[in-house]
Amino acid sequence: MTKLVGQGVLQPDFDASPISADTLIVGSTIVTMDGQRRIITDGALAITGDRIAAIGKRAELERMVTAREVIDGRRFVITPGFVNGHVHLTEILIKGFLPENLDFEEGVWRWVTPLYESHSPQEQGIAARLTALGMLRSGTTCFLEAGTVLALDAVFEAVAETGIRGRVGEWAMDRAFSPDQDQTASTDRALKILEAELIRYPGRDGQLLAAWPLLIGHNTNTDALWRGAKQLADDHGAGISAHMSPAVDDPNWYLANTGKRPVEHLAELGVLGPNVSLTHMVHVDSAEVALLAETGANVIHCPWAAMKGGYGSTAVGLFPEMAAAGITIMLGTDGSDTTDMMRPMALMAGLFKDARRDASIFPAHLALEMATINGAKAMGLSDRIGSLEVGKKADFVLHDTDRPEWKPLLNPVNHLVWSADGRAVHSVWVNGRRVVDNYRCTTIDEEALYSEAQAAAEAITGRSGLPSICAWPVL
């Protein structure tokens, strides 16, 4: 290992004890994301069990570490695994089927929701496994589900097989919009679902996968469900997440029905805090930003989905102001179009530069922080993941630089955000286990999964009754 000696200079720690490791990767450039944000050239990383045992210069670790396996890492840049803060695990089987010209309400309630509800538990499992594969193959090692899983047990079993780290939750909304609905019964039913999943899939003991009370959000959850879900999250050491304000519909509804904007209303309920993350948050005002900062609540931005959906995030979004206020912003891929976290990183680094005509906004290193250490912090996992440091979990990615988009390599951080994408992910470790090796997932029969996914997608869209729309004739 190494000591930090002023001005970021590294020197060997010759007093360190010899280390026995399972794996030693040598010769790589390592983007640590540690407290000093060190980038170690000709570096080495040692793994023992599920944790990082040593990290530093190659020459030093080769003297200190005895490993059962030594990997020549000279062609690789190593980063922490990415954290996807918002992904719909079971939406991928309708990828490409949704028309582009839908407004938010029509897209959600006429298209997405009926297609979701038509999935069988088996199809939900297939979708979740395919989404997990896409995340792993592009460098994501931890995710937060969007709270739209219908068959939680089938999804949990399918995802657990892949070896990815994550938090999942069953579809939960309770507001009775029809006068013939029993509001009390609806709320009680939703709370029982949330409590049961937390008991069934706990996360206090370091499990890779665990349940969180994930709400649909918008205006679909009553005050009673918000309070109950927050109390459950606090009691079980979990987090809570919900969609909010991608469009003006949410603030308009809250203003009309509560007299306050969404964040103001949630703050008044006392349900905001560091274990709460709100997704989208495009149409917010400065008072809501101040409340988010004051309560320590997190924001999940999905720039890819916002751009495709025409949410207006660069026109009216206050994300630069959120960052300046100290709000933790993490990134997500959202729906079915992509699971590659390197795409929203690039968008986050670029869109607000253009919108504000200020090239200093969200430089590449801040975008990379949002996809790593910010995500870990918002998920309450910063003591385990998000950076490469001794004692942390061995969740990391080897990016192959023997590719045209990686040459010449002069600044690895700029390269990661502006030049590369998930296609250069060669190997991935989660919890000390190699789950991607030489561009192939080691835990999934990829060809069999692709075949299952195609058949399931055709069955789901076929029985939905929704039209298949294409701008050009399909013969």
pLDDT score recorded for residue 454: 97
Residues 153 and 21 in one domain: no
Tokens 């590449």, residue? 364
Residue 467 lies in a domain: no
Instruction: Output the CA–CA distances (angstroms, integers) from residue 150 to 123, 124, 125, 153, 474, in the order listed.
Output: 11, 8, 10, 9, 33
pLDDT score recorded for residue 113: 78
Residues 222 and 283 in one domain: yes
Residues 118 and 251 in one domain: yes
Residue 458 lies in a domain: no
Spatial distance between the Cα atoms of 130 and 132, rounded to a whole number of angstroms: 5
Residues 410 and 298 in one domain: no
Residue 446 lies in a domain: no
Indicate the number of domains in the chain: 2
Residues 126 and 153 in one domain: yes
Give me the residues paired with residue 76 across strands.
400
Give me the residues paired with residue 40 across strands.
30
Residue 471 lies in a domain: no
What pLDDT, in 10s, does the model give residues 115-160? 888 899 999 999 999 999 999 999 999 999 999 999 999 999 999 9
CATH number of the CATH domain containing 411 = 2.30.40.10
Instruction: Output the CA–CA distances (angstroms, integers) from residue 292 to 91, 263, 277, in the order listed.
Output: 29, 8, 10
Residue 56 lies in a domain: yes
Residues 105 and 253 in one domain: yes
- Stretches in the chain below the pLDDT threshold 70: 1-16
CATH number of the CATH domain containing 163 = 3.20.20.140
DSSP state, residue 405: G
Residue 449 lies in a domain: no
Residue 465 lies in a domain: no
Tell me how crowded residue 119 is: count the other CB atoms within 10 A of its CB.
23
**Domain end marker among 356, 378, 400:** 378
Backbone angles phi and psi of 26, in degrees to 5: -125, 145
Residues 169 and 234 in one domain: yes
Planar angle of CA 174, 175, 179, nearest 5 degrees: 125
pLDDT score recorded for residue 68: 97
Residue 167 lies in a domain: yes
pLDDT score recorded for residue 95: 86
Cβ burial of 46 (10 Å; 0-12, 13-18, 19+) is buried
Residues 147 and 38 in one domain: no
- To which H or E segment does residue 261 belong? none
Residues 53 and 90 in one domain: no
- Structural domain for 18, as ranges: 2-80+388-441
Residues 350 and 429 in one domain: no
Spatial distance between the Cα atoms of 309 and 303, rounded to a whole number of angstroms: 10
Residues 310 and 254 in one domain: yes
Residues 199 and 254 in one domain: yes
- pTM of model > 0.85: yes
